[in-house]
Amino acid sequence: MSDPATCWRVHPTGPLHGEVRIPGSKNAITKHMVAAILADSPSVIDNAPDVGDVALTAEMLHAIGAEVMSEGSRVIVDPGPIASGSVPEAFTGRNRIPILMLGPLLHRHGEAFVPMVGGDDIGGRPIDFHVNALRAFGAEVEVGTGGVSAKAARLHGARVSLPYPSVGATESALLTAVLAEGRTVIENAAIEPEVVEMALFLQRMGARLELQPNRRWVIEGVDRLHGATRRLAGDRLEGFSYLAAGLATGGAVTIRGVDQANLVTGLSALRRMGATLEIDEEGITARAPSGLQAIAVHTDTHPGFMTDWQQPLAVLCTQAAGLSVIHETVFDGRFGYVSCLSEMGAAIELYDQCLGGPACRFHESNYRHSAVISGPSALHGAAIDVPDVRGGFAYLLAAASADSESILTGVHHIERGYHRPLRQFAVLGLDITPDSLPTRE
């Protein structure tokens, strides 16, 4: 991963063409790594992406006594004895993985501590759902300024009803329930493909669980889990992003390794914008020979339009004819990246009303969660500091669509979530030159 003192000089080269193979997602691999410490023997996770969050999660697991080894695209996790139930405070604010480790560490040690979580600044992502679920399992939980402490002699099955189908809270409850004594029912749960993928991994490890209608997971706790092997599905977020890269620059990109079923809502949106799709067992190609048309989209939990698709979609909308509307219903601060797009020439206005879809939970709030985008707009190169993973890819996509050079700093954020982006974009024909930032005297 690039040093924080590295920048990328992006030289637009016109339409992007070619094909990229998409590995598993950072959201899937890191959760599988945490799940693996519940077992009494090593696990193997294949098709792992080369992203910063994998290395960071490996560091956390090393800190509690597990062994993590990488062999090409395989990550091997040997839980060993798990010498410590405490994740060091040095990992404070690095990502959101520590909160998922509480349940597994309680099962292994009876006491646990994890530092305060971080992650991208995209709006409120409180840990209340996680804490309340752990308390329902019988844990004593204390939230302090430095982190979260918990203890429990034995965790028992519980009925966990989530106020919102949070992906992280659902995963946290699943990781706790599989070894808890008795039956657990998780209601109003997330059913995103990555959640199901982790559940399938747990099932291979010996967990007894099933997904029922109406967003219900039912888990019968078992006494032990064993190591397992699983190959990750291709990252649906990354796949959509590269299809958008081809369309935004007037080219055509083929993605390989992503299941069409995990992209169906995103592909439908591209088709509504005028894209022509070629889909077979080998891959998916998107092109728009007659140009792009405006669209109205609202994000939602799965199977709705993914919140992490809206950033590349916003760049696409800057190149589409007409007024497009994106209504964000998942995170209240998801449009933080828009200001830099505006500096590059995008015509985007943000509103605190629910536009482009039904009233959402941010209705009548002060959150600006709807964007109206007028296009097509001529984008210009700019100097941009990347603040987070998803907004960073949108900037990179805008830079590829611009009429002059852009300089991106903070590019380590992009590499934290995307598999070898420099190599992938080079295959598509984009000229990106890594450079060192000038030192301050």
Share of the chain above pLDDT 70, in %: 95
In tens, the pLDDT along 68-86 reads 999 999 999 999 888 888 9
Which residues are known to be catalytic?
120
pLDDT at 417 over 60: yes
Mean pLDDT of the chain: 93
Spatial neighbors of 209 by CB under 8 A, at least 6 apart, are 174, 177, 178, 199, 202, 203, 217, 218, 219, 220
Tokens of 102: 């509480």
Contact 290, 54 (CB under 8 A): no
Domains of the chain: 6-22+235-436 (3.65.10.10), 26-231 (3.65.10.10)
In tens, the pLDDT along 8-58 reads 999 999 999 999 999 999 889 999 999 999 999 999 999 999 998 999 999
What confidence tier does 107 reach under pLDDT thresholds 50, 70, 90? very high
**pTM of the predicted model, to two decimals?**
0.92
pLDDT at 117 over 50: yes
Contact 328, 299 (CB under 8 A): yes
Spatial neighbors of 240 by CB under 8 A, at least 6 apart, are 263, 266, 306, 309, 312
pLDDT at 258 over 90: yes
Query: First vs last Cα of the chain: how many Å apart?
Result: 26
pLDDT at 124 over 80: no
Q: What is the pLDDT of residue 438?
A: 56
What confidence tier does 122 reach under pLDDT thresholds 50, 70, 90? very low
CA distance 433 to 274: 33
